[in-house]
Amino acid sequence: MNGFERRRGGGVVATFSGFEADLLRSLASQLVELLRNEVAAPTSASDPLEDLLDFSGPTTEPDDPVLARLFPSAYTDDDEAAGEFRRYTERGLRDGKAQSAEQMIDTLEEAGLPPELGEDGLVVDVELSGDEAMSWLKSFTDIRLALATRLGVEEGDEAYWDSLPEEDPRSAVHDIYDWVGYLQETLVRALSR
């Protein structure tokens, strides 16, 4: 896999093995599931505007560390202001992140990734418009944040990850984290040409 390349006439292209495309679909699916599973806070609003616009989002930081990383507190020194900000914004942010991940899944499947991967030697050619590429870029960022949070990746800890034995399951997940970073980097480069 050579990453993303600029396409004549705009947009970008990439070629994935069936395994790579299926892995991306799995990561995006897990992200969508995480984003969609947390229920918004119930509302007992009496404000007609609020009822009309449905500002029933959560008011507290998510319990899941990945969600807390994806949706950090806007006001670290004011819990009430942070709760109000979260209530009005988090639902829309969640929807946007989930839609980007769903678009990645749809694009991979439209490019030929079957529902169940079984064929050896499958190649999936993906072509993205500028808008689709930006959506994928957002999903790569969210997937990497999720993986980094689950693994406990910190800035400057590359030597630790390099020292892990290959049979350590964290090593394989860190390799996926690095690979998604590579895809993200090549996509940024292709978009900036």
What secondary structure does DSSP assign to 148-187, as a single string? HHHHT--TT-HHHHHHS-TTSHHHHHHHHHHHHHHHHHHH
pLDDT > 90 in the chain, percent: 64
In angstroms, rounded to a whole number, what is the distance separating the alpha carbons of residues 112 and 17?
11
Taking residues 112-127, what's their average pLDDT?
90
- Band (pLDDT 50/70/90 cuts) for residue 87 is confident
Taking residues 82-99, what's their average pLDDT?
88
* Integer CA distances (angstroms), 37 to 55, 91, 99, 159, in order: 18, 12, 14, 35
Q: How high is the pLDDT of residue 40? A: 40
Taking residues 145-174, what's their average pLDDT?
94
User: Which has more pLDDT, 2 or 41?
Assistant: 2
Assess whether pLDDT exceeds 70 at residue 125. yes
User: Which has more pLDDT, 47 or 31?
Assistant: 31
Taking residues 19-39, what's their average pLDDT?
91
- Band (pLDDT 50/70/90 cuts) for residue 39 is very low
Taking residues 176-185, what's their average pLDDT?
97
Q: How high is the pLDDT of residue 60? A: 73
User: Please, what is the average pLDDT of the chain?
Assistant: 87
Taking residues 136-149, what's their average pLDDT?
97
Assess whether pLDDT exceeds 60 at residue 59. yes
Taken in order 106, 188, 14, 10, the sign of the CA dihedral is: positive
Strand pairing report for 5-6 and 123-128? unpaired
- Band (pLDDT 50/70/90 cuts) for residue 171 is very high
In angstroms, rounded to a whole number, what is the distance separating the alpha carbons of residues 182 and 186?
6
